[in-house]
Amino acid sequence: MNTSAYPKCTDPCAYIVIAAQYSANIRIMQTCSNQKGCYIMDRSKIIFGNELTDAVYKKSCRSKKKFLRKFGDDSLNLYHLSAEPAPAIGERLGVQQLVLSEETGVSFDENSIIIGNIRMGFGHYRIAMAMASAAHALGYHPYWFDLHSFSRTAAGKIIGEQNRLYSMGSCLSQRSKLFNKMYWEPLNSEGFRRISYNAQDQKNAELMTPVFLDLPKEIPFVATHVWTAQAALHAGLKNVVNAIPDNWPMGLHLAEGAVHTVQTPSAALGYRALRGMNGKHPLRPMPEGTVVNTGHYVDHELVSNIEADCAKRIERMESGAPKRWLLSVGGAGAQKEIFIAVIRKLMPVLHRRKAVLFVNVGDHMDVWQELCRAVPEMMPLVTEHFSDFEETAAFCEAAYDAPVFGVHAFCHEDIFAAVYSTNLLMRVSDVLITKPSELSFYPIPKLMIRRVGGHEAWGAIRSAEIGDGTYECSTPQEIAAMLVLMQKDGSIISEMCRNILVAKHAGIYNGAYEAVRLAMRLKK
């Protein structure tokens, strides 16, 4: 190997990798813990053989230094992990949650698999639950590794800051058309798309490695947010699957050294070619085998019950039973104005018992209170299911066969219960009203409302083409018109159910199983 292209390892804070081959295919072999005289390739300088400019690299280094100044350097700290059953999904999905402890309190076996994630909205948690569910169904032992939850580490503090800014931007984009048009849409569709953005994230992820100390280097690791994939690789983990959530290829989601999984053929080709990640100038593509189209990431409980759940929906359509609408609020709590408009539009048919509304506000009690103030006329119809997750689960179990009426509101302080409640409610609902985010890929008829960020647009396109959801309805008037159409004509919902069955038999909803299998194969 010609080592002249690589600088010597001199930075004691750098988490870097040995480049074993530099050609059209760069192979990442192992991490370097400042071994004397080693030759290195910095993932913020060269990404899949594409060398970034000095200006981009220096900006990435400044970003890392900014977080170092703000949150400190804990690279020499010894963090240990213990395991405990995860709330809500611990017993159901066999999930053990990894938490910080004074000494190592967990031992892994041959069937252990790490589900790396962060809480940023609900989307990444939702995908992580799908991975854990699939792993459990396949006989493996999933461990929940949430970088955001380690709040006293630099990683937890950095992610907390980023999450706060992203949530603020999401909410502001729904309140200000100018901010959305001039800043938020371009940032989410084109800003995050550029490969230079990946360079900055890679530098920041170098600060997140200390908490990985207790994880065996060979353990299969499925990351449902790219920062956990990047940090795992910087920490020396060798069998990393980077489960990409969006259907729009973005440099943001790259984690060189991992196998990248995507949910659609178009995303697979777009990532392989690094499409549009350098403006109009094509880039050297990702090597063969580094991108795999697994299909949609969906929980085992939903996939295995598709036939039965769709049969129930079609039966309700044909019998004239009240149509069941599910309104799921995202983790950022945005789009309240749309939710208010939807509830008001449904009020007449709710009063006549022609419709039922389930509203899951996650852990955002303030959102529910705002909805109540905005639509006080719904209060006589409301039944609240707050705090007690087992009561929520029992309600959903009963609602599978028994009739339900009115408005049912769900809110849970625990994040696991807040997110997983939507999974339970999907099985007893006829239509999910959602923005075209990660829920675009779930096997339930969907009414797609306005996106939050340009990157979500292709989620609605995918759903509309498969036929398990509508196209994106971007204005309140368009949303209201589609709501009325589907409420009056149950055949639209029945047709979506039939399309879901076709997609199921084609394996389109098997992505979580395939990502888990891939991670276990990497270990072998």
How does pLDDT run across 353-395, given as a tens digit for each residue? 999 999 999 999 999 999 999 999 999 999 999 979 999 999 9
Q: Which residues pair with 46 in a beta bridge?
A: 51
Q: How far apart are CA 10 and CA 29, in angstroms?
A: 20
* Count of CB atoms situated within 10 Å of the CB of 112: 19
Rounded to whole angstroms, what are the CA distances from 364 to 43, 359, 369, 418? Answer: 38, 11, 9, 9
In the chain the first and final C-alpha atoms are separated, in Å, by: 27
Residue 156 pLDDT class (50, 70, 90 cuts): confident
What is the DSSP annotation of 284-336? PPPPTTSEEE------HHHHTTHHHHHHHHHHHHHHTPPEEEEEE--TT---H
Location of structure tokens 């076709």 = 502
Q: Is the Cβ–Cβ distance between 225 and 117 less than 8 Å?
A: yes
- Of the ranges 22-26, 415-419, 433-437, 446-450, which one carries the lowest mean pLDDT score? 22-26
Location of structure tokens 């270990």 = 523
Q: Kindly report the average pLDDT of the chain as a whole number.
A: 88
Q: What percent of the chain has pLDDT over 90?
A: 74
Residue 180 pLDDT class (50, 70, 90 cuts): low
- Determine how β-strand 240-243 pairs with β-strand 221-223: parallel
Overall average pLDDT of the 47-54 stretch: 94
How does pLDDT run across 8-30, given as a tens digit for each residue? 443 333 333 333 322 223 333 33
Query: Does residue 321 have a pLDDT over 60?
Result: yes
Pair of tokens at residue 299: 């929980």
Pair of tokens at residue 327: 């309104």
Q: Is the Cβ–Cβ distance between 286 and 269 less than 8 Å?
A: no
- The pLDDT of residue 52 is 93
- Residue that wins the pLDDT comparison between 378 and 246: 378
Give residues with Cβ within 8 angstroms of 189, minimum separation 6.
Answer: 248, 453, 454, 455, 457
Overall average pLDDT of the 288-299 stretch: 98
- Residue that wins the pLDDT comparison between 4 and 46: 46
- The pLDDT of residue 119 is 85
- The pLDDT of residue 524 is 81
Q: Dihedral through CA 82, CA 86, CA 91, CA 94, nearest 10?
A: -60
- The pLDDT of residue 17 is 35
Q: How far apart are CA 45 and CA 200, in angstroms?
A: 10
Q: How far apart are CA 129 and CA 153, in angstroms?
A: 24
